[in-house]
Structure 1
């Protein structure tokens, strides 16, 4: 029986030695992985340091640009106020013109309504035609001493057409 106990102890010792060798190989691979991970982390720290410094520079330049733009905008404020005042004035002028035009249109409409009530349109047209004829005759009489025939406006219009 001592012999069997010795064989069992030998098997256990060989198994333990195989386990140690296997674990040594696994631990060696884990060491390599951890070594690569450490190198990667070190490289990342350097890159993050560079990125951080570049980011700080970019933020500084951005803040300087924003300050410059704000300064220039404050210088333009009077111009914007002047443009606003011109716009308000133009709006008031336009409103006044609209009111005047509306009043004039209303007065013309009232005059036309009165003319329609009294049937004066025909008489107004007749008076305008008589006025036209008399002024044309006066122009012809004034031009007669110079012996230049004066063409009436109607003749000129027909010649130009």
Structure 2
């Protein structure tokens, strides 16, 4: 019976050694895995710091660009306001010009008879001048012929 006891204790001891070896192996694997995870976390931490710095620099540049865009937008607004003012002035000028044209047309229509009379008198005056010039030319020709007759 003692032999069975030795065999049982030996089996238990062997099982315990196998269990310890298995636990040691598992712990080594877990240790390696945790070390890799730690290295990965360290790498990620470094990358996150780099990304954070880049994001911060990008945010600063974005803010500068937004300020610049705001200033330029204000300048463009003033240009657009000025262009709108010019457009309104041109529209007012066109309206005034149309009114002047309409007034001239109305006055011409109102004074059309007077204008016709002035044109008629102007034609008569031109005809009289032409007759006058014609008579003067004939008179000069007659005087020239008389002088030729006297000299000749």
Q: CA deviation at 1:2?
A: 2.5
* Structure 1: gaps spanning 5 or more residues: 101-161
Within 5 Å, which residues of 2 pair with 1:46-61? 46-61=46-61
**Residues 63-111 of structure 1, C-alpha deviations (whole Å, 9 max, x = no match):** 01110110121122121112334555677889x7xxx9xxxxxxxxxxx
Which structure has the larger Rg? 2
Normalization by structure 1: what TM-score? Answer: 0.52
Structure with the greater relative contact order (CA < 8 A, sep ≥ 6): 1 or 2? Answer: 1
- Flag the 1:3–1:75 CA change in 2: closer, same or farther, 3 A: same
Within 5 Å, which residues of 2 pair with 1:18-29? 18-29=18-29
* Structure 2: gaps spanning 5 or more residues: 100-152
The Cα RMSD (Å) is 2.5
- Normalized per residue, the structure richer in helix is 2
2:38 is matched with which residue? 38
Q: CA deviation at 1:5?
A: 1.9
Moved over 4 A (4+): 86-94
